[in-house]
Amino acid sequence: MPEATTSAPKAPHAGAVRQPRQVYAVAAVSALGGLLFGYDTGIISGALLYLREDLGLSSRGQEIVVSIILVGAMIGALCSGRLAGRYGRRRVVLWVAVVFAAGAVGAAVAPGTGSLIAARFMLGLAVGGASNMVPVYIAEVAPAAIRGRLIVVFQLMVAIGQLIAYVCGWLFAGSGGWRIMFALAVIPAAVLAVGMLRLPESPRWLVEHGHHDTAKAVLRRLRPVGADVDAEIASVREISTSAPRASYRTLTRPWVRPALVVALGVAAFSQLTGINAVVYYAPTMLSDAGFGHSVALLTGIGIGTMLVVAGATGAIAVDAIGRRRTMLFFLPLSGLAMTVLGIAFLLDDSPAQRWTVIISLFAYILFNGIGMQSVVWLIAPEILPLSVRGPATSLATLTVWGFDLVIAITALSAINAIGRSGTFFVYAAMNVLCIAFVLLKVPETRKRSLEEIEKALRAPGSLRRNLSDRTL
């Protein structure tokens, strides 16, 4: 396919121009979807300690209660991209907020295991929709100079949601307290719904659907005074008219394939490196290892704190040093920490052994959170072309939740089969494979406009080389 000739508008360096406050408001409000995502996936770790007692759940039953939300997330991710292509990014995020609230109420009042599973499936639909659409919405609204940090705000909000979930798990510990834990999610869901009513639609979606005047008005509110809005509109129009309308068949085109490989590869490794095995089951694993319920729950709060620190650090790192360098610097540390964690469980029980477990657990969460989780929701919306961004990001998000489901339904079974150390050594090996994948496949997209990235994708040669060779 011929490369377009019109130049994409150059993005100013971060800090060179003061960005309008509305850009940050859009990111902050829409990223509440990330907080809900983090809370509803994280709350099960504390609730599970008492759910399994109240409902008499076996290890397999616990895995089903944990993992059903991921089945819903896969379906939500798959459907939300197509819905967003037809109805708009903003409207889908608004619908997600409503489903979040309904699922939270359903889980809180669930009379038994079956109804709880149904409510968590509904929450999964919302989690999948939020994880798919919020990063896309922010990416299409944000200026290139600060796009990385604004999208990573979503991951930071996920981490904050998980921390809040761990704190609530500790505060409401005890039989029946899990109902309050689930019900509290209604509050941020309502705030997200009200906030989205006041936010604009994605200007790129508006251009793609022929609403050029509305898109121009939106961009004038979202760009600094004096920005060349007309040039940005022209660049988006050129890209949107140079390829057919979104369809899954378009994903098989050779020029799209490099971006799809990167997006799906990063999505898969974000789970295979083991993060959610720790997030979902750390309190259960530590309790079963003799740490006691109270210590296990407090350790969960520490994990949530590390996730927040990782999210804040990642938000700075992806724009300061780049997406690729962030992964290559922190992933080796992640793999090392996971290896130490595996070794620690081979040692005899002692205060030193327990401290080694906790410190290596925290170190792993910190390094994997910065090196992998800060990038996973950023790469796909950046690198996938506009014409297939809806279905392609759905596929990438589906990959995240699909591999997350694999981890959720196998973690406890793997521990029973090969022990804690063997399980953690497998995750450590996945960190090593992820580093090799990043070295070979992942390009640097820092400070590039979405249109520049797409033109590099359409150009002959390696996408990674095209982006590294071009001047900023």
Structure confidence by residue, pLDDT tens digits, 60-105: 777 788 788 888 988 988 888 788 888 888 899 999 999 999 999 9
Determine the pLDDT at residue 249: 67
Burial class from Cβ neighbours inside 10 Å (0-12, 13-18, 19+) for residue 461 reads exposed
pLDDT at 14 over 70: no
Whichever domain contains 322, its CATH number is 1.20.1250.20
Residue 463 lies in a domain: yes
Cβ distance 188 to 97 under 8 Å?
no
Which domain covers residue 447, as residue numbers? 21-199+243-469
User: Of all helices (H) and strands (E), which one includes residue 421?
Assistant: helix 389-441
Is residue 207 included in any domain, yes or no? Answer: no
Total tally of structural domains belonging to the chain: 1
Q: Which of 432, 305, 415 is nearest to 358 (CA)?
A: 305
Per-residue pLDDT tens digits for 111-128? 877 888 899 999 999 988
Residue 148's closest CA among 462, 359, 445, 408? 445
Percent of the chain topping pLDDT 70: 89
Instruction: Give the pLDDT confidence of 124-173 residue by residue, as tens digits.
Output: 999 888 888 888 888 888 887 788 778 878 878 888 888 898 888 888 87
Residue 140 covered by a domain: yes
Residues 56, 58, 61, 66: is their CA dihedral positive or negative?
A: positive
Once rounded to an integer, what is the mean pLDDT over residues 299-308? 83
Most confident of 174-188, 226-240, 398-412, 431-445: 431-445
pLDDT at 9: 45
Query: Which one is predicted more confidently, 322 or 58?
Result: 322
H-type alpha helices, 109-185? 113-141, 144-171, 177-183
Rounded to whole angstroms, the Cα distance separating 454 from 240 reads 11
**pLDDT: is 337 or 208 the higher one?**
337
Give the CA count within 13 Å in the CB-facing half-sphere of 375. 37
Amino acid at 16: A
The answer to whether residue 314 sits within a structural domain is: yes
Query: How many CA atoms does the CB half-sphere of 11 hold within 13 Å?
Result: 22
Using alpha carbons, list the distances in angstroms from residue 167 to 53, 161, 171, 447: 20, 10, 6, 37
Percent of the chain with pLDDT over 90: 21
pLDDT digits (tens, 9 = 90+) for 331-371: 999 999 999 999 988 988 788 888 888 889 899 999 999 99
Cβ pair 69, 397 in contact under 8 A: no
Specify if 219 maps to a domain: no
Residue with tokens 């898109």: 215
Asked if residue 326 is part of any domain, the answer here is yes
Structural domain includes residue 64 = yes
In a domain, 210, yes or no: no
Residue 264 in this model has a pLDDT that exceeds 90: yes
Look over the chain and give the mean of its residue pLDDT values, rounded to a whole number: 83
